[in-house]
Structure 1
Amino acid sequence: MEPRPAIFKSGIHEVSLVTLVCLAQFLTQSGITMSLSTMNKVLDSFASFSGDSQIDDSKKVWFMGSFALTVGTFILLSGKLGDLFGLKLVFCIGWFWVAIWSLITGLSIYSHSIIFFIISRAFQGIGFALLLPCGMGILGSVYQNGDRKNFAFGSLGASGPTGATIGAIMAAIIGQKAWWPWAFWVLAIVSFALGVLSIFAIPANLNAKSHTAKEAWEQLDVCGSIVGIVGLILFNFVWNQGSVVGWSEPYIITLLVVSVLLIVLFFYLQLNVAKHPLLPKSIFTIRIGLVLACVGLGWGSFGIWQYYYWNIILNLRHYTPIEGSLTYIPIFVFGIIASLVVSVIIARTKPSYIICFATTCFMVGCIMLSVTPIHQSYFQITMGQMFILCWGMDMSFPAASILLSDYLPDSNQGMAGSLVATVVNYSVSLFLGMATTVEVETLKHASVLESYHAAIYLGIGVAGLGVLFSAVFIVLQLNDGSGTFSPSYDEKENEWESS
């Protein structure tokens, strides 16, 4: 392994910085599962305050969907903010933003409004959108290509399954034994402490800029940012809200058309108009597109699996929140192993093989859930899903992160982090909205279990499309004879110009 980068004062300093970045990924995944293990508790508490015997059950999709939506959407902007104003500054702001809105999310119980809770969850996600790409950009700036960088990104990937497991267990214990708002208040306290630590642990001279704040603002591409973010939010909102209010509502179809037009306009602005585009032209290559497509489709299917897995074990198997969260322990164990394995093999095999294997795992996991009997023991097919899916999650994320970090120049390391995190989180929310639409329509003429299965079938198809794209990626690498995805910067520049 290469020597420690000179920017670190000691081994403790290096471990502290990597740990802070890993905790950003850890708590992002915690933020998703803590709303899944307690979703029935949250729904029942707001129902009791409103005086209704039961609030529309379909609103539960927004507990997870609103959080993933803003994480995925605002990452598009936050990576550029980190590149322009400094990765450390935006990273620290992200921690304090999470602390404030985690506090408000817990306090939303006093508003007696489930809509306010969902909105608070969305604002909470913006904080993590600031953290993820800047954290990944920090690692990309600190480490040169090599085993040390691969290990750091492998540790980042391992933070995902550990965060998902610990977040689910922590929230379940608090929600079942105490009161669910305390789960968000604990997150607020931890985030504030991590924000303070980041001020001292992260070097101040990372991606230092010589331009003024005014010059940086001019390069921010405000118009493109607004068009892109609004378009993505509306498109995602339509698919999630359509399953709640029904697709016969005129405003749903209207917003769908508007969102598509805005997204098309966004890409037109980025490619033809913007002087300083939010998405640099260097990312519009076939290889990067295939990597992002595979990761997005794989994680989109995983979002479907995760939501309906929790619905099945809580509503049909009648597990308690704590019992349900304990079923995630295999993901915790095998997920760490998978992430560290990919950090070793990424330099010894074609990345296309890793991506193909990961998308196949996502597809197999969804297939297994679709055929799992309700009353079967957990230690049969259910536990097997955990073993399979952890390889999909924890090989795809670090592999894609390393690929894009290696492939983009130092000036776009924040953008490298934002691309992967954007695709992962936005896909989770988007495809979940599509799946709930399938569920609601199927439920009109079928049982609850059959409606869940119909949604999971969509997840199988989404992951299968990811496998297809990964096969195309393999063919491309075989044709050009490249064993790696990390050409020199001069080679990259020539490829971008020829593209």
Structure 2
Amino acid sequence: MADLSRPGSSDGKNPSRSSMYKSRHISLQSRVDSLASMDYSGRDSIVPELPATPTSSEDEAPQHPPLNINAFHETLFIGVCAVSHLMTQAALGQALAPINLIADSFNTRNPGEMAWFIAGYSLTVGTFILISGRLGDIMGHKRIFAFGYLWLGMWSCFAGFTPYTKHQIFFDFCRAMQGIGPALLMPNALALFGRAYPPSIKKNLVFALFGSMGPVGFVIGASCSSLFAQLTRWPWAFWSYGITAFVLSAAALLVIPKAVGTKPPKESRPGFDWTGSLLSVAGLVLVNVAWNNGPLYGWGTPDVYFVLIIGLLCLVGFVWVELRADSPLLPVHALNGTATFVLALIGVGWGAFGVWIFYSWNFLENVRHLTPLKVSAEFTPVVICGLVAAGLTGFMLTHTPISFVMMMSMIAFFVGITVAGTQPVNQSYWAQMFVSIVIMPFGMDMSFPASTVLLSNNMPREHQGLAASLVNTVLNYSISISLGIAGTVETSVNHRKTDPASLLWGIRCAYYTGIALSVVGVVLGAIFFIRSMIKEGWKVMDH
């Protein structure tokens, strides 16, 4: 193996990628920034450090203009952007915790209909992330970010009024529209941070803070919605959430510095792929609707399989258009075998997580008959475990191969859902459920950064910013699809019966579906690790 510590070294296969492991920055955005400075022209040398004044407008490096704000203003700026991740996960927990009380408002306990309370939200979060990032590049990240909070608040309030309509489908529609808000928020929040801070310890801390908001947000959302549902009425959880989003929208306009939030000059704005965007949204939505309506109406119903066929045709058309587009939404030609492998791992791993979170809550509320507030309290360890997992992942990414981190995350998904799926009904919380809740955050917080870095390593310079968006898209979409698959299994085995024995058997089989997905993840993760060991050996990023 060539000496990678010297400029001009090469592994004989891909000289640019052999040098990608020389980054000294641990955070994801710093990693992307350092990758963007590498030479992707195919030469065997690393580009030397350039002077501050760029030599070419076309190759000009991303600028980090001075913020010119005081420490208090900067704290507000970081807070309003980081809280977007908290709000994203809080919206997931606010419908999951009181899910039975919400279902009672619409006179339903059909598992397929209840799954839509979660699946509809995850569907649109995953579907619109790629589009919203491009809109931010064209119209300005501050503008799209503030609008994302406004949109989120508006549809959250609409969701709170749905009990008066007595129509569960309208609530599902509001949840789907609500999911567009986080899709507008997250990629543009990351872009604002990326423009505000050059690679530094401060940037590492800011991005670490953003990542740590996820589990905190889920617990806050679940706890607050449980409290409102048990003490007053569950719509107050959505109304209070909507008011908070409106306040954050106004705060975003006031505290985000003008230096990082301005609209780019017209000559430097990227084009927008309208055809590809329409086909991608139509295909992803139709395929997801078919998968989640299968448990409700049966796969033999023409409305279900025709929607699935049309959705698949739209996705095929999307790939065809992207291969020929001047400004593709998704550069298909940039996705090599490694990138496809990584996205497959994210899909099955987070699909298992989606089954785990939905059916663990279902098991605790409907089988052990716990209140939503008590279940929320039982899930509080994910806050601490998420922070520990984030720190451990930062250490592992700089001391072990990234493929090893990815394999370990798949093992964590497998162990976590297996422990939860095999627990007896009459058992102490501490015996298995607590263990599962402790383990599962390691799968979440190890797979996301590892997969983002791996995609960055295997994508050209001009598409480095796409890595995190792709991971987020596959992550959220796989949660929604897996719930449709598990719901199909559940309704097939219990024949839609609601007696305790049938209910338990349906949940068990849904768990087994998630376990099967996690087994696929472990197998693929092991193959990926072995393949990378054969190809590169025990290769780690320098730190």
Q: Normalization by structure 1: what TM-score?
A: 0.88
Partners of 2:66 and 2:259 within 8 A in 1: no
Q: Which residue of 2 is the match for residue 372 of structure 1?
A: 423
Distance 1:139 1:183 in 2: 30
Question: Share of identical aligned residues, percent?
Answer: 35
Identify the residue that residue 396 of structure 1 maps to in structure 2.
447
Match of residue 459 from structure 1: 514
Given that 1:137 and 1:413 are in contact with CA atoms closer than 8 Å, whether structure 2 keeps it comes out as no
- 1:357 partner SS: helix
Determine if the alignment matches structure 1 residue 275 to structure 2 residue 323: no
Deviation of 1:78 after TM superposition, in Å, equals: 1.1
Are positions 1:100 and 2:154 aligned together? Answer: yes
Displacement of 1:274 in angstroms is 1.1
Match of 1:128 in 2: 182
| Counterpart code for 2:216 | T
Q: Is the 8 A contact 2:228 2:234 kept in 1?
A: yes
Superimposed CA distance per residue, residues 318-337 of structure 1 (whole angstroms, 9 cap, x where no aligned partner) = 00111111111111121122
What's the offset of the Cα at 1:119? Answer: 0.6
Whole-Å separation in 2 of the counterparts to 1:25 and 1:282: 31
- Would you say the 8 A contact 1:153–1:401 is kept in 2? no
SS at match of 1:372: coil
Deviation at 1:135?
1.7
Question: 2:218 maps to what in 1?
Answer: 164
Q: Which residue does 1:41 correspond to in 2?
A: 101
Task: Report the aligned-residue RMSD.
Answer: 2.6
Counterpart AA for 2:329: L
Match of 2:287 in 1: 235
CA drift of 1:448 comes to: 2.0
Match for residue 132 of structure 2 among 72, 78, 88: 78
**Paired residue for 1:176?**
230
**Equivalent residue, structure 1, for 2:87:** 27
**1:113 counterpart = 2:204:** no
Kept after mapping to 1: 8 A contact 2:335/2:459: no
- SS of structure 2 residue aligned to 1:392: helix
Match of 1:248 among 285, 294, 300: 300
Instruction: Give distance in 2, aligned partners of 1:343 and 1:241.
Output: 40
Residue 360 of structure 1 is matched in structure 2 by: 411
Q: Which residue of 2 aligns with 1:496?
A: none
Q: Tell me whether 141-150 or 222-231 shows the greater mean CA deviation.
A: 141-150
What is the identity, as a one-letter code, of the residue corresponding to 1:210?
P
C-alpha change, 1:434 and 1:57, in structure 2 (3 Å) is closer
Please give the per-residue CA displacement for 1:117-147, whole angstroms capped at 9, x wherever unaligned: 1111110001111111222233334444565
Alignment check: 8 A CA contact 1:133 1:421 kept? no
Helix, strand or coil at the partner of 2:258: coil
Unaligned stretches of 5+ residues in structure 1: 48-53, 487-499
Among residues 381, 387, 393, which one is paired with 2:432 in the alignment? 381
Q: What amino acid is the match of 2:186?
A: L
The aligned residue for residue 87 of structure 1 is: 141
| CA distance in 2: counterparts of 1:233 and 1:176, whole angstroms | 34
Partner residue in 1 for 2:477: 426
**C-alpha distance after superposition, 1:153-173 (max 9, x if no partner):** 332222111111111111001
Q: Is the CA contact (8 Å cut-off) linking 2:124 and 2:179 kept in structure 1?
A: yes
Matching residue's letter, 1:7: P
Q: Secondary structure at the match of 1:101?
A: helix
Counterpart residue type for residue 404 of structure 2: Y
**SS of equivalent residue, structure 1 residue 379:** coil
Aligned residues: 475
Q: 1:374 to 1:108 in 2, by over 3 A?
A: same
Q: Partner amino acid for 1:188?
A: G
Structure 2 counterpart of 1:420, one-letter code: V
> CA–CA distance in 1 between the matches of 2:457 and 2:77?
20
Any unmatched runs of 5+ in structure 2?
Answer: 1-23, 31-63
Match for residue 7 of structure 1 among 66, 91, 99: 66
Greater displacement, 174-183 / 135-144: 135-144
Q: After superposition, what is the alpha-carbon deviation per residue over 1:253-309, rounded to whole angstroms, capped at 9, x for unaligned?
A: 1111111121122112112x2111101246412333233222222111100011111
CA distance in 1, matches of 2:459, 2:79: 24
How far 1:249 sits from its partner (Å)?
Answer: 0.8
SS of equivalent to 2:266: coil
Q: Give the CA deviation at 1:203.
A: 3.0
Conserved? CA contact 1:330–1:387, under 8 Å: yes
Structure with greater helix share of residues: 1
After TM superposition, list the pairs within 5 Å mapping 1:212-361 onto structure 2: 219-271=271-323, 273-281=324-332, 283-361=334-412
Check whether the contact 1:133–1:414 (CA below 8 A) recurs between aligned residues.
Answer: no
- Shift in alpha-carbon separation, 1:32–1:84, aligned structure 2, 3 A: same
CA distance in 2, matches of 1:20, 1:380: 39
Question: What do the CA deviations read for 1:390-439 (whole angstroms, capped 9, x no partner)?
Answer: 11112222343455567768865663332121111111001111110011
With over 3 angstroms needed to count, the CA separation of the structure-2 counterparts of 1:78 and 1:485, relative to structure 1, is farther
1:489 corresponds in structure 2 to none
